[in-house]
Structure 1
Amino acid sequence: MPNQQFQSCIDACYACAAACDHCAAACLQEQDVKMMARCIALDMDCAEICRMAAAYMARGSELASALCRVCADVCEACGDECAQHQMGHCQECAQACRRCADECRRMAGGAGAQQQDMATGATAH
């Protein structure tokens, strides 16, 4: 099953998506919501791409490593933004984003050989 070798990355993606959803919802409850606009927008982008990356990995898509590279970039941007805010939900989100970015980069770097095998049809039917 192709997704088992990516399970830690899949788990990190889902955890990050949940943290981003929570952060966005909590930011909407802050007194100065306008000040949190970029944080909320990046939370929503990050949650969406994390779920998509997890799905690509779970089904063994040949494009999973490419998507994970982009996911890592989005997670990094979201984590950097969240880290600028002192609220607990933002700090927790920043940590989840950094973990996910690390896992996605590791997955994308190590998935090349398997992805090449998939692309050339080296898997048995």
Structure 2
Amino acid sequence: MTTSPASAPQNQTVLDALSRCAAACEQCATACLQEEHVHMMVSCIRLDRDCADICRLTAAFIARGSDHAKHVLKECIEICQKCADECGQHQHDHCQQCAEACRACVAACQHYAG
């Protein structure tokens, strides 16, 4: 799992997925705060924020070739899946887009992890 700078281009797919997921989660959390019944969106907002944070952290660990990237990646997959499940339950476009980005991130992370 440890990467060197020479293998950095091979990491671009997972780094892109992590970045897209973090952005989608941030956008979803912001949009959820604008919903009429925001109290019903609390779990979604919390997971969005957790997911965005773990995606950014995971990307940093992968980009630097950290020996700990494997452990962070495992947690990222778990949180992204939970976020996809939560957002997928809501009919709002921003939630559906977030769920899609989270599922794509899970797939990219699983592929990267081998």
User: Which TM-score bucket, shorter chain as reference?
Assistant: over 0.9
Deviation sequence 1:38-96 (CA, Å, 0-9, x none): 00000000000000000001111111122111101100000000000000000000000
Q: What percentage of aligned pairs have identical amino acids?
A: 52
Matches within 5 A, 1:36-47: 36-47=41-52
Please tell me whether residue 18 in structure 1 is matched to residue 23 in structure 2: yes
How far apart, CA to CA, are the structure 1 residues paired with 2:62 and 2:8? 6
Please tell me whether residue 106 in structure 1 is matched to residue 106 in structure 2: no
Counterpart position of 1:31: 36
Please tell me whether residue 96 in structure 1 is matched to residue 106 in structure 2: no
How far apart, CA to CA, are the structure 1 residues paired with 2:104 and 2:81? 9
Counterpart position of 1:5: 10
- Aligned structure 1 segments of 4 or more residues deviating by more than 6 angstroms: none
- How far residue 3 of structure 1 moved from its aligned partner, in angstroms, is 2.5
Please tell me whether residue 50 in structure 1 is matched to residue 50 in structure 2: no
The letter for the 1-side match of 2:12 is Q
The letter for the 1-side match of 2:87 is C
Counterpart position of 1:121: none
Report which of the two structures shows the higher radius of gyration computed on alpha carbons: 1
Segments of 5+ residues of structure 1 without an aligned counterpart are: 110-125
Match of 1:86 among 91, 103, 112: 91
Scaled by the length of structure 2, what TM-score is found? Answer: 0.92
Let me know the Cα RMSD of the aligned residues: 0.8
> Whose RCO is larger (CA < 8 A, sep 6+)?
2
Please tell me whether residue 77 in structure 1 is matched to residue 78 in structure 2: no
How far apart, CA to CA, are the structure 2 residues paired with 1:35 and 1:64? 34
- Count of equivalent residues: 109
Segments of 5+ residues of structure 2 without an aligned counterpart are: none
